[in-house]
């Protein structure tokens, strides 16, 4: 396979798995949770899925990515997720970014940017700081538009119902 073919294959895989993460985000939407979804992929196979459950669990740490990492570690019986790729519909926050480093995740791919809590450059840039032992590959803006639209729709609905005044999420890649 040439480098170009390899890149194309990677792009196809990224789109495929991000669509799966979007399905998780839609589940969150249906449950009136901020619609963020994630999947964790190992050897081209989804080993864990997660969607935001902050409201249901009344737990600020119940982000899609955290739930996904915990579930993968529990099912593998291993906290090290060194060869895994995490797909999230939203730019990870510093907490999830920290967990990504702690679990030694190889690569992280996300969709929409998060101006409020984004740790991939929107608020702070955790992934560009050189880590002494572990580097995480980053790919941003994959299916950013549908991921952002879902968030936009959600907050529009929330505003209509008088639940919030405004949101700081954007769909910008
Ligand atoms: Zn997070």
Please write the tens of the pLDDT for every residue from 85-128.
999 999 999 999 999 999 999 999 999 999 999 999 999 999 99
Please give the distance, rounded to the nearest whole angstrom, from the Cα atom of residue 38 to the centre of ligand 1. Answer: 11
Which residue in 53, 45, 67, 25 sits closest to 153, CA to CA?
25
Q: Which two tokens stand for residue 98?
A: 């920290």
Residue 97 is encoded by which pair of tokens?
């970014």
Mean pLDDT of all residues belonging to the chain = 93
As a whole number of angstroms, the distance between CA 132 and CA 107 comes to 17
C-alpha closest to that of 47 among 26, 12, 77, 22: 77
Q: Taking the CA atoms of the chain, what radius of gyration do you get in angstroms?
A: 16
Tracing tokens 């997720």 back to the chain, one arrives at 81
Span 41-62, pLDDT tens digits = 999 999 999 999 999 999 999 9
- Ligand 1 geometric centre to CA of 6 (Å): 30
Q: Please tell me which residue in 6, 20, 26, 65 is annotated as part of the active site.
A: 65
Q: Residue 168: pLDDT band by 50, 70, 90 thresholds?
A: low
Which pLDDT score, from 0 to 100, does residue 165 have? 60
Q: Which protein residues have a CB closer than 5 Å to ligand 1 (ion)? A: 63, 93, 95-96
Check residue 142 and report its DSSP letter.
T
Q: How far is Cα 106 from Cα 97, in angstroms, rounded to an integer? A: 12
134's tokens: 């572990």
- Measured in Å, residue 27 CA sits from the centre of ligand 1 at 17
Task: Give the three-state DSSP class for 49.
Answer: strand
**For this structure, is 137 an active site residue?**
no
pTM comes to 0.92
User: What is the percent of the chain where pLDDT is above 70?
Assistant: 94
Q: For residue range 1-20, list pLDDT tens digits in order.
A: 788 888 899 999 999 999 99
Length of the chain (residues): 173
Nearest Cα neighbor of 55 from 27, 75, 74 is 27
């Amino acid at each position: 396979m040439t480098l170009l073919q390899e890149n194309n294959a990677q792009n196809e895989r990224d789109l495929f798995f991000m669509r799966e993460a979007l399905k998780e985000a839609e589940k969150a939407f249906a449950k009136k949770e901020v619609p963020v979804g994630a999947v964790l992929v190992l050897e081209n196979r989804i080993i864990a899925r997660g969607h935001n459950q902050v409201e249901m669990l009344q737990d600020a740490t119940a982000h899609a990515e955290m739930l996904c990492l915990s579930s993968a570690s529990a099912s593998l019986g291993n906290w090290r997720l060194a060869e895994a790729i995490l797909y999230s519909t939203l730019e990870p926050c510093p907490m999830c970014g920290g967990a990504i480093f702690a679990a030694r995740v190889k690569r992280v791919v996300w969709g929409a940017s998060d101006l409020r809590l984004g740790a991939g450059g929107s608020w702070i840039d955790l992934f560009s700081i050189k880590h002494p032992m572990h580097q995480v590959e980053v790919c941003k803006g994959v299916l950013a538009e549908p991921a952002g639209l879902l968030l936009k729709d959600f907050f529009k609905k929330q505003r209509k119902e008088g639940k919030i005044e405004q949101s700081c999420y954007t769909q910008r890649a």
